């Protein structure tokens, strides 16, 4: 799987379900072989901070970071009162272009199972 031995940044702006979504994302990431996930304190990092972090990680070790999952209502708002959304930033630190989001959407229609690690405890976000 392409995610093996890769870093992933996961954080958000603290909106609705931020803490719950982070725990689920961590379990799925582990299920797909992601070996290191960087989460902001309390699960919080701004979009510019996440972009900068991705660029630093990939400058230190080429292609070490596969990008970031950002939890922010400013992208694809949903949830109660449109106060939750998910965005993917690519390994260059920028938002995923439409070609990638289209490919992810098309792939999502073929998923028959989700690999997850259910035995890991919740990660302390404080």
Q: Which of 46, 74, 99, 108 is catalytic?
A: 74
Confirm if 33 and 4 have CB atoms less than 8 A apart. Answer: yes
Any alpha helices (H) in the chain, and if so which ranges? Answer: 18-31, 47-60, 98-108
| Nearest one of 47, 51, 7 to 29, comparing CA atoms | 7
Q: How far apart are CA 59 and CA 64, in angstroms?
A: 9
> Is 74 a residue of the active site?
yes
Residues identified as active-site: 74
């Amino acid at each position: 799987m392409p995610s093996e031995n890769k870093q992933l940044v996961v954080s958000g702006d603290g909106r609705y379900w931020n803490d719950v979504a982070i725990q689920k994302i961590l379990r799925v990431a582990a299920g797909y072989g992601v070996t290191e996930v960087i989460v902001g304190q309390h699960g919080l990092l701004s979009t510019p901070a996440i972009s900068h972090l991705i660029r630093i990680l990939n400058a230190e070790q080429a292609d070490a970071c596969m990008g970031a999952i950002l939890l922010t209502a400013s992208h694809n708002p949903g949830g109660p009162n449109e106060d939750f959304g998910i965005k993917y930033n690519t390994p260059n630190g920028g938002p995923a272009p439409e070609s990638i989001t289209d490919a992810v959407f098309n792939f999502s229609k073929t998923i028959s199972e989700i690999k997850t690690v259910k035995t890991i405890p919740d990660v302390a976000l404080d």
